[in-house]
Structure 1
Amino acid sequence: MASNPQDEKLAQAGDADMLAKLGYTQELKRSFTKFEVLGIAFAIMGLLPSIASTLAFSLPAGPVGMVWGWFVASGFIFIVGLAMADLGSAMPTAGGLYWWTHYFSAPGWKNPLSFLVGYSNTIGLIGGLCSIDYGFALMLISVVVISTDGAFVPTNGIVYCVFLGCVLSHAVVVTFASKIMGKLQTVFTVANLLLIAATVIVLPIGRRAERNNAAYIFGETANFTGWPAGWTFFLAWLSPIWTIGAFDSCVHISEEAKNATTAVPYGILGSIGLCWGLGFLCMIVISACMSPDIERLLTTPFGQPMAQIYYDAVGKKGAIIMMTLLFLTQWLMGISVVVAASRQSWAFSRDGALPFSSFFSRISKRFGYTPLRAVWGCITLSCILGLLCLIAPAAASALFSLAVAGNNLAWFVPILARVIWGREKFVPGPFYTGKFSIPIAIVACIFLVFSTTLAMMPVGGPSVNPESMNYTVVINCAVWGGALAYYFIDARKWFIGPKITIDPDQLTEEQMQKMAEDRTVDLQLPPMIVKDGFGAEEKVVTVDV
């Protein structure tokens, strides 16, 4: 490839060349190391704050649901990570999920499936931000409730105001700390590890005279739902499914990662593996140290079962300290998920799929070659989705499942497309699971269908009312149905899938021929389109075959 001063400024030649093979010019600065790529996923997962936010899903199944539910579900999630690591190593780009979908799908399915995956992934990531910040609001308020001995009773309006302040604070930090965002992921990772260590030490000491035995921890079952006991155990999987649900952030940050073909799979599998092992440890400790009166934990006046568990172990002051550390760590999670969501939104805008794409696809050089407009676009939509807090707790809890269902579909479709249509097209990267690749992908698809079904079930039981209804099925079907309706009514006329933004003058004859060969094999590949420096004007670039 001919020398491009812009590429040399933003990335090493190997990374820029890899991106060029996928059709994109280097626009973001590659500042994330391999460990920092892992760090952004692990920081978003925010292991202990996420466990605390989702403990109401696993507690009804008792210690068996908490401990073994975590272990088994995390194992399946690791299998999904293996399938995604194969793809991420081979084709690392910020819009990876919908890019892979378009690349592997059959001609007639390329554009609609790619469009659907892009919207589902975008909304899923923004839903993840909403659920994290809603969890933050509940944790912060629980500290106030503890400090006033239950005299303070928050309204839905107060919860939303705290949520709103949290979301806006993230926007400010991501805007002005963009140049050191990679380094911050290491800080966030260390903060999460220290909180885990503190909890694993403090709880057993505080409950040393009242700890539960091994038979209780590993063998005690319960059922505080209207579902059969077996299904209640599966619903406990929602805790790890929601917690270990940010590993695709490694894909979205890939155009800012050094040596992306190895950093992306390392980040995906490393973050899942850490949460699998450390989360299993945390669940054992919590089960050992919590009160056996699970109903009391679920109905605690503090609003958070974890707050009651801390309170029982270390008293009022200790609980305030631990919950403060917990919500501060949860706040750090939100910063990282804003970064991931904005990169997906920017990539989808770069390909012209989101409303006002020419506006959101611009890069801010002043703030370190980052998609600043996409950041604030995600923040604005988060504030709107967060209005669910004003309806009822059941509606607000849909924010958790929205992230699960939206992202699950976005992970499922490209993996399935590779299995059904793309086996011959797949060219492995440095990380590859070899002959196990297809079986792994099939198991991953089965699990993703099952976990999406879980996310849409009412957790309290089959008998629902407006307060206990799980609105995930309504919200996600509206997103998916709306995306497909938008595509078939209007977008099919202009959406051609991922666009080629690389300047043809920068391509060698060999690269031009490779693109020509790809178009010969797959006639449905979109025309190669070059944007000007502002993303406003476009022209079709033809390649002679």
Structure 2
Amino acid sequence: MDGSGASARDPEAAVASGASSVADASDSALLAKMGYKQELKRQYSTPQVFAIAFSIMGLVPSIASTVTFSLPAGPVGMVWGWFTASIFIFLVGLAMSDLASAMPTAGGLYWWTHYFAGPKWKNPLSFLIGYSNTLGLIGGVCSVDYTLALMIISCVNIAQDDGWSPSRGIIYALYVALILIHGLSAAFTGRLMPRIQTCCIFINVALVIATVIALPVGKVTRGESLNSGKYVFGHLDNETTWPTGWAFMLSWLAPIWSIGSFDSCVHMSEEALHAGKAVPLGIMFSAGSACVLGFLVLTVMAATMNQDVAHTINSKFGQPMAQIYYDALGKNGALGFMIVLCIIQYLIGLSLLVAASRQAWAFSRDGALPFSTFFRHVSKRIQYQPVRMICGLVVACLILGLLCLINNAAANALFSLFVASNYLSWGTPIFCRIIWGQGRFRPGEFYTGRFSKPIACIAVVYLMFGVILSMFPTGGPNPAPTDMNYTVVINGFVWIGCMLYYFFFARHWYTGPLMTVEDPSGDSDTTPRDGANVNQQDTPVNFKEE
């Protein structure tokens, strides 16, 4: 079903502007050059593509979720750790934007890997990246909803002011309820989703402004002075047993986790209008705004928090951000802000589940996931949504969430799966382009020009470092079992298991992305791309719109 056909049957789409119709036709043609027919409904404008990544980042809730990574290094770790890491993350976004503009498809990361990699590496690397990206996004949904469950509990604690500590069973029950609600919302709000994403921009920006204003005003109103600029920008603490310099490097984990979803723009490529322009702009704007606004929020937090960093880290509310709000605004103010944080955190989970479902759907379209024939179905009755895949992801999240029943270290594995798997997925196609694909790359509407290759090289080095960094225990060397960072175990199991599955089984049937465009006779072709395969041609294909 092509996009124009879907629009003709949709009364709302029928009144779309002429410019949108032209963009839709050109997008379908560009997608066909990559071997795919249009199956999803194109309805996301450029601001809405940006919105889905910006919504997933959800700056203030994400900062609240990850400030425990940067607080041990004090204000310098919070402020400068965020700023330095986010600059490198922005460069990764630029490198990804070059590829996304030239070849916009929902399964972009594994598709690009297959296109650029050397002949012997195409299939195994593409298979690895497809699984790594899919499982990383599932881990992201799990970690967002687990954090949301903890945020809701912290609201109860603030309201009751009694330091109630729920059992892990209660936490998991709340987590299950949130996952199920997210699944229903993602499946049945497809028509409204672009508008929801637009609203998310205003809600997130409003929360940033409210936080930046309310924290210092509340602090001064309560008769307390703000922390000095010397303290905010120059005080380096160390609440770990690592050397101070490494404690600062570990503070990078906060922005690494928070600014970790701009690839969602790539996964929405087949629903974006004028994707060759909208997707790269969405990536750049989301990564750039996170850098600037996050730096602003953290600066204000450092100026208003208790100078006893350990007091904030070990908050009785279970959330350092809740303690910062409480110290500056009192009980009612803290409760009000935490409730808003919970609402936005819910929207983060919803947007992330939508993006994850598109990546997993694209991977099943190419026959790589178990039961791909079942999961690749797109529901025409429910607004052209991959409903079966959404249901599959919900089940996967419920199973992975069982980790939170063990201990905090096991629950943190959900975070590590998101970070390390995504960083591997981002870095591999960029690396393949540098090593094997320079002669095959043809720029799209967005291109960084002569800086493209240097940016790509810096991005790959940074992403390799980010994967290694994510595997360190944050408290210090020689951790106890409850403090251990199990990233290397969880991701090692995923990566090694994926490769064993490929070499023993999948290599016999997985041959890379399939072609689903209709041939001139009208028959749908779902064969591998060999012979005239666009990915195997000696002559590079120019995917740029004519």
Band the TM-score falls in, shorter-chain normalisation = over 0.9
Change (3 A) 1:121 1:435: same
**In the alignment, structure 1 residue 110 sits paired with structure 2 residue 122:** yes
- Per the alignment, in what secondary structure is the counterpart of residue 178 of structure 1? coil
Aligned to 1:542: none
Aligned to 1:89: 101
Aligned to 1:257: 272
Aligned to 2:28: 16
Aligned to 1:129: 141
Alignment match of 1:413 (pick from 414, 420, 428):
428
CA RMSD, aligned part only?
1.9
Find the aligned partners of 2:356 and 2:198 in 1 and give their Cα distance. 19
Matches within 5 A, 1:94-173: 94-173=106-185
**In the alignment, structure 1 residue 322 sits paired with structure 2 residue 322:** no
Aligned to 2:77: 65
Say whether the 8 Å CA contact 1:363–1:371 is kept in structure 2.
yes
**In the alignment, structure 1 residue 212 sits paired with structure 2 residue 227:** yes
CA shift for structure 1 position 7: 8.5
**In the alignment, structure 1 residue 278 sits paired with structure 2 residue 293:** yes
| TM, length-normalised to structure 2 | 0.92
CA shift for structure 1 position 313: 0.8
Alignment match of 2:39 (pick from 23, 27, 31):
27
Find the aligned partners of 1:252 and 1:517 in 2 and give their Cα distance. 23
Which residue identity does 2:164 align to in structure 1? F
CA shift for structure 1 position 187: 0.9
Alignment match of 2:410 (pick from 375, 389, 395):
395
Find the aligned partners of 1:518 and 1:377 in 2 and give their Cα distance. 31
- Per the alignment, in what secondary structure is the counterpart of residue 109 of structure 2? helix
Identity %: 55
| TM, length-normalised to structure 1 | 0.92
Which residue identity does 2:275 align to in structure 1? A
Aligned to 2:461: 446
Say whether the 8 Å CA contact 1:179–1:367 is kept in structure 2.
no
Which residue identity does 2:139 align to in structure 1? G
Greater alpha carbon shift after TM alignment, 465-474 vs 71-80:
465-474
CA shift for structure 1 position 45: 0.4
Aligned to 1:511: none
Matches within 5 A, 1:379-394: 379-394=394-409
Say whether the 8 Å CA contact 1:178–1:370 is kept in structure 2.
yes
Say whether the 8 Å CA contact 1:4–1:506 is kept in structure 2.
no
Find the aligned partners of 2:404 and 2:211 in 1 and give their Cα distance. 29
Q: What is the CA deviation profile of residues 452-477 of structure 1, one whole-angstrom value per residue up to 9, with x for unaligned ones?
A: 11111111011112100111111101
Change (3 A) 1:412 1:146: same
CA shift for structure 1 position 521: 3.2
Q: What is the CA deviation profile of residues 492-521 of structure 1, one whole-angstrom value per residue up to 9, with x for unaligned ones?
A: 0000000000011179xxxxxx98384773
Aligned to 2:238: 223
Say whether the 8 Å CA contact 2:3–2:38 is kept in structure 1.
no
Greater alpha carbon shift after TM alignment, 467-476 vs 32-41:
467-476
Find the aligned partners of 1:462 and 1:235 in 2 and give their Cα distance. 13
Aligned to 2:321: 306
**In the alignment, structure 1 residue 470 sits paired with structure 2 residue 482:** no
Aligned to 2:527: none
Change (3 A) 1:388 1:222: same
CA shift for structure 1 position 248: 0.3
Aligned to 1:521: 537
CA shift for structure 1 position 382: 0.8
**In the alignment, structure 1 residue 369 sits paired with structure 2 residue 369:** no
Find the aligned partners of 2:430 and 2:354 in 1 and give their Cα distance. 24
Q: Structure 1, unaligned stretches of length 5 or more?
A: 508-513, 526-545
Change (3 A) 1:506 1:307: farther
Say whether the 8 Å CA contact 2:157–2:163 is kept in structure 1.
yes
Change (3 A) 1:467 1:178: same
CA shift for structure 1 position 190: 1.2
Counting matched residue pairs gives: 517
Q: What is the CA deviation profile of residues 335-376 of structure 1, one whole-angstrom value per residue up to 9, with x for unaligned ones?
A: 100100000000000000000000100000111111111111
Change (3 A) 1:8 1:17: farther
CA shift for structure 1 position 195: 1.1
CA shift for structure 1 position 189: 1.5
Greater alpha carbon shift after TM alignment, 141-150 vs 91-100:
141-150
CA shift for structure 1 position 139: 0.7
Q: Structure 2, unaligned stretches of length 5 or more?
A: 14-20, 523-529, 542-546
Which residue identity does 1:131 align to in structure 2? S
Find the aligned partners of 1:503 and 1:64 in 2 and give their Cα distance. 57
Find the aligned partners of 2:150 and 2:477 in 1 and give their Cα distance. 26
**In the alignment, structure 1 residue 181 sits paired with structure 2 residue 193:** yes
Change (3 A) 1:236 1:262: same
Matches within 5 A, 1:46-65: 46-65=58-77
Q: What is the CA deviation profile of residues 197-246 of structure 1, one whole-angstrom value per residue up to 9, with x for unaligned ones?
A: 11111100111223101000000000001111111101101111101000
